[in-house]
A and B are shown apart, each in its own frame.
Chain A
């Protein structure tokens, strides 16, 4: 409760509302297909956030979010087979997360890469199955060729995303910022239902990590949900 009150303090909320609104504008441009404009907005946001981060460490963590979207826009995806696109973006994204965590003095343990009771983590992981089904119903992605390679890349990307949102962002800015940023990133899909599923998923993952500060359960849940979204549910229901 104290963490929530700290997160909802008007001064903090006001400072974070502006970059989140700018991030949402960039995501709307992506959803609308105006990718060059989105790249310019994201690059400007990255630069603004890192320059404002000297006094507010959560802004340094938040700068990684538009940076990851910018990487997705600038990486030469046309030269690589689609199943490897997430991996191509995930490698520099992981480097950004590791670098920012180090610059903020966060250890692996503080990011949530620590031991926790197995039963509790398995219970969290199991929620990935219905969340994957909900995401599939909301998004109905096209059937993918190279399904196994795509699933492996998507599960690896799930690790990077959890380190970013529930690790770095939640640790520095609190669960509300982590959930809001995760929901805003889903705007790029152009599906209001998927944004709703992402907000519910993000809120649940943030709650689980706030209750027991360990990422393994949410990483497994995210991986299961992602694999279900691109591989399992399209095969069963598609």
Chain B
């Protein structure tokens, strides 16, 4: 019933190619985040409400970005 994380993604997480895949999809996330931020700045500069549906994207994209960065930083920290 729940289709958030289908089997193909579950399989990929366990594969040897996963680090490269995670880097690639992370880059897609960053590009999308930058595109949304630029569009919002343009909308603000031109005083248009046309881009209003972009604003709700910011919170989930920033949350995902925060999760990715936090877990990567945690990976780099040495165990004590």
| Residues of A participating in the B interface, judged by any CB pair closer than 8 Å | 30-33, 35-36, 39-40, 43, 46-47, 50-51, 53-54, 59-60, 63, 67-68, 70-80, 82, 85-86, 88-93, 95-96, 98-100, 102-103, 131-132, 135, 141, 154, 157-158, 160-161, 185-186, 188-190, 198, 201, 222, 225-226, 229
Contact = CB atoms under 8 A, between A and B. Distances in A.
Interface of B: 1-13, 18-19, 21-22, 24-26, 28-29, 31-32, 35-36, 39, 49-61, 63-64, 67-68, 71-72, 74-75
Contacts of A141: 7
A68 B13 CA distance: 17
Given A100-B53, A157-B4, A188-B6, 7 more contacts: A30-B8, A30-B9, A67-B57, A77-B13, A91-B63, A96-B56, A132-B1
27 contacts: A31-B6, A33-B8, A35-B12, A36-B28, A43-B28, A43-B31, A46-B32, A50-B54, A59-B53, A60-B53, A63-B57, A67-B60, A70-B28, A70-B29, A71-B64, A73-B28, A74-B28, A78-B19, A90-B4, A91-B63, A103-B52, A132-B1, A158-B1, A188-B6, A188-B9, A225-B1, A226-B2
A229 B36 CA distance: 37
A93 B4 contact: yes
A73 B61 CA distance: 12
| 7 residue pairs, one from A and one from B, having the closest CB atoms | A99-B56, A92-B60, A188-B6, A53-B53, A226-B1, A60-B53, A92-B63
A76 B32 CA distance: 17
A92 B21 contact: no
A165 to B, nearest CB: 10
Contacts of A198: 1, 3
Contact of B8 (A35, A67, A229): A35
A82 B7 CA distance: 12
Contacts, number: 169
